[in-house]
Amino acid sequence: MRPFILTISLLLMGPWALGQDPISLTLRPISECVIALREAGETNTIYAIRTQKGIVVIDAGLSCETMREIRKRVAAHFKTERFAYLILTHEHTDHYLGDRAFQDVPIISHTNAPALMRSDLNEAGVKGFQARLHAFIAGQRAKLDALPKDSPESVRVRSSLASGERELRGFSPEQLAIPANLTFTDRLSLDMGDLTLNLIFFGRAQSQSDIFIHVPEERMLFTGDVFFDRVWLPFLTREKVLDVPRGIQVLHELLDGDRPPHLVLPAHGEDAWDRGKLALWRDYIVKAWEGAKRARQEGLGLDAFLAGFPLDPSITYVTRQGISEQKLQDFHRTTLTRYWKQVELGAEALPGTR
C-alpha cells in the first residue's frame, strides 16, 4: 500500500511543472509565522511554522534533495537556521522519505509509525522502490524521446523525470530516510514559547498513525491525508482496523473547544477548509457511525442498512468541485460498509488501551 502511494504521487504531477530550476519550489505564506511549500509537479505540501523556540516543519515529502532545498528556503524566509522539530503526519512514504534532511532535529510521529517505516526501508523494501523507480524513469525517458522538443508536454515529462531521479537517489545510504525518533501514543503538547503545538492521534483511518497538529494561537489545524473534497474524498477507511470513536472524539474536542480551527490545512494541494466544512464532515462521520451501530443493534443486514441510509445531501456539494456522482456514491457505500463491519469487530477500544 505504501509503495502504491509513492507511485500515485508521481502520476499526479500536474501541469504546473514548468520550472526551469532542477528543484522548483513555490512558497506560500499562510500567516506571518506559517508557510506552505511545494515542489513543482508534486502535490505534497510541506508546512513550516516559525516559533520562539525554532522552526517546526510538518512532513518530509518524497526526496531528501528536495527537502534540503525546502529547508534552505524556509531558513531564508524566516531568517533563522534554528529548526526545532520535524513532525510526520503519518507513516506513508510520500510524507517521510525526505526526512534525513532534518536528521539533526527530533523527528516526531505517532508511536505506530517507526516500525512501519522500518519495514518499508529494509533491504527488500528499498530494492522494491528502486525497481519501481527505475521502471518509472525508463517509461518517462521513452515518453520524452517520442515528444517534440520543448513542447509543454516534454517540459512536464522532463520535470517528472527529474523528480523520479531525485527519488531514486534518495535510496542511497547517505540520503535514506530515518524512522521517527520521538513518538507519542495519544497526544503530545509542544510548548514553543509563543505558540503551542498540540499533536493528537486521530486514530487509524487512512494510515495506522494519522495525527493532527493543532496550533490554537494561530487557529490552524493540520490534518495530514485524512480530509479532502477535491480530486479525493476523505480517506476514512483505508486501514483494515479503524478507530472511528477515537476520531469522532478528536473532532468534537477540536471543533467544540475553546479555540477551534479557522483553517484546516491538508498535506496535499492547497484547498484549506474552514471550521464549517470540518464540522460538516464530522457530522457525516457521526451519522454514519451511529447509523451502523443502530443497524447492528436492530439486527439489520448490510444490504438493508445500505438501502435505508441514502447519501447525505450535506456532502453532495463535492460534485460541484469535480468529484463525480458515482465516486461520491461509492465513497458513501464504502464508508457505511466498513463502519458496519467495524461495529461487528467491536473495535471501540481507545488507543492506549489495546
Q: Using the rule CB under 5 A, is 39 a contact of Zn ion?
A: no
Residue 207 CB, nearest distance to Zn ion (Å)? 9
Residue 22 CB, nearest distance to Zn ion (Å)? 23
List all residues 6 or more positions away from 82 whose beta carbon is below 8 Å from its beta carbon. 54, 55
Contact string (CB under 5 A) for Zn ion, positions 171-210, x = contact:
----------------------------------------
List all residues 6 or more positions away from 107 whose beta carbon is below 8 Å from its beta carbon. 85, 86, 87, 88, 99, 178, 179, 180, 181, 182
Q: Which of 213, 172, 4 is nearest to 88 (CA)?
A: 213
Segment near Zn ion (CB under 5 A), from 105-113, 122-130, 172-180, 217-225? Answer: 217-225
Nearer to Zn ion, 42 or 243 (CB): 42
What is the Cα–Cα distance from 28 to 238, expressed in whole angstroms? Answer: 30
Residue 223 CB, nearest distance to Zn ion (Å)? 11
Segment near Zn ion (CB under 5 A), from 152-160, 189-197, 218-226, 334-342? Answer: 218-226
Q: Using the rule CB under 5 A, is 225 a contact of Zn ion?
A: yes
Cβ–Cβ < 8 Å for 18, 40: yes
Residue 60 CB, nearest distance to Zn ion (Å)? 11
Segment near Zn ion (CB under 5 A), from 48-56, 87-95, 236-244, 288-296? Answer: 87-95
Cα separations (Å) of 52 from 78, 110, 196, 228, 310?
A: 11, 24, 10, 31, 50
What is the Cα–Cα distance from 5 to 9, expressed in whole angstroms? Answer: 6
Count interface residues toward Zn ion (CB under 5 A).
2
Q: Using the rule CB under 5 A, is 91 a contact of Zn ion?
A: no
**DSSP letter, residue 37:** E
Contacts of Zn ion in 253-292 (CB under 5 A): none
Residue 118 CB, nearest distance to Zn ion (Å)? 19
* Beta strand segments in 74-175, E: 83-87, 107-110
- Cα–chain-centroid distance for residue 279? 19
Segment near Zn ion (CB under 5 A), from 60-68, 88-96, 152-160, 308-316? Answer: 88-96
Grid cell of 323 as nine digits: 468529484
Among 94, 167, 229, 239, binds Zn ion (CB under 5 A): 94
Q: Which of 235, 1, 224, 211 is nearest to 109 (CA)?
A: 211
Segment near Zn ion (CB under 5 A), from 150-158, 188-196, 219-227, 340-348? Answer: 219-227
Residue 107 CB, nearest distance to Zn ion (Å)? 17
Residue 90 CB, nearest distance to Zn ion (Å)? 8
Burial of residue 133 (CB within 10 Å: 0-12, 13-18, 19+) is: buried
Residues lying near Zn ion in the complex (CB under 5 A) are found at 94, 225
